[in-house]
Structure 1
Amino acid sequence: MKKIIFAFFLLGSILTFAGTKEEIEKLQNDLLLLQKKYEALSADILNLSKKIEMIENKLDALQRSSQTADLRVDLENLKIEVEKLNSAISEMKTAQSYSPPKTVGEEQISSSINASSDDTPEKLYQNAYSDFIQGKYQIALDEFQKFTEIYPEHPLAENCHYWIGECYYGNKEYLKAKDSFEKVMQKYPKGGKYYSAKLKLALVHYNLGEKELAKKM
């Protein structure tokens, strides 16, 4: 009887040990699998870190390159174009609302250059500005210059001098544009076009290769 009991005990121990061994092997396999996954994730993280570092280096290099300056210039050009569009309505309203009577001197000058009676200062300005918006820089230039010759003291004369510079800039005549914008800043230091002229003068310097002067503006 004792031998039978011992045999059952021994069999149970063997089965228990076998079950424990299988569980241990399963745990070991699970740990091995987790370790492999961890190593794979670590490799992915390392690769991502390298890519991020590479991108950061490229960004740093880009910031130090001339491409950044070009992008800034493009951005400023876009800002100026937006400014032109935003100011178009106010420019037209200003021209329409201001209609003072002609002085004797203006009438004499107007007659001397054969200006028609319909060419009021406001209409002449509107026509010039409209041609500028349409990209007809040379036509607009002649009209703005005509305005400043006939009405040099008119409140819109400052605007005309500024747009003369813009016309030269549009035609890529940067030296003439430079003179025009400088004239606006000197003649109208407290005028509404002072800062626009200053910004555009910086772009003129850049296009002339005078990058240091452009940065100082």
Structure 2
Amino acid sequence: MNAAATIPGKKKRPAIAIAVPYWVREFALIRWGVAALAGGVAVGVAAVLYSNAQLRDASATRAHVQQVRDAAYARYAYADNEKREIRAFQPPFLAMRERGLVGEENRLAWLDAIRRIQEDRRLLPISYEVTPQQTVAPDPRVATGDYQLHASRMTLHMDMLDELELFNFLEDLRARGYFAVQDCAIKRLGAGGPPDAPALSADCTLNWITLTAATTTAAPAPARGKP
């Protein structure tokens, strides 16, 4: 019996033809072009991503270099400003140090100045007493930098022939140091003495001023005497 025989009473179905789009049928012709295009796109995307990364790195480097440059310029400007300030303030600073305002307190120089003025002016004997040095709080608007303001109080007594002797004495003393006159009391002595006897006496309180480094704390002992 033939296996391929047709079963009686059953009709054979016709084959169904499926229509394939032309671009699918012809894809084989362009598949290498598509592959090349995909590769080019991938390379382009990678190049864009790499370029963006490089741009970010370059921006970060540029910002860092800008910060370094700004810091260097700020240091240069600060140093240049310091040099200008030194040139401007060095002469008066040296002058103040020469006169004893800046540095350690030099009481011997004060006492020597009193003695010399008394001898040059031919004044009557002068007596004095200096109390221990004290720290002074300056006005907040006064900038003293790394220096601390100190003052030593001197009580001074002198007999005079006239008031001009006191004024000349203080003027000469001011040329040799920095001090502030706190008060001065002049008293007239009794008349009837010899011609060269003192007619007046003065009791003054002076505050000798010095600027010393803020770490300096030592204070000289009290001094009294008569040149």
TM-score greater than 0.5 by the shorter chain: no
Query: Normalising to structure 1: TM-score of the pair?
Result: 0.36
Larger of the two Rg values belongs to structure: 2
Q: Which has the higher helix share?
A: 1
Q: Which has the higher strand share?
A: 2
Which of structures 1 and 2 has the larger relative contact order (alpha carbons within 8 angstroms, sep 6+)? 2
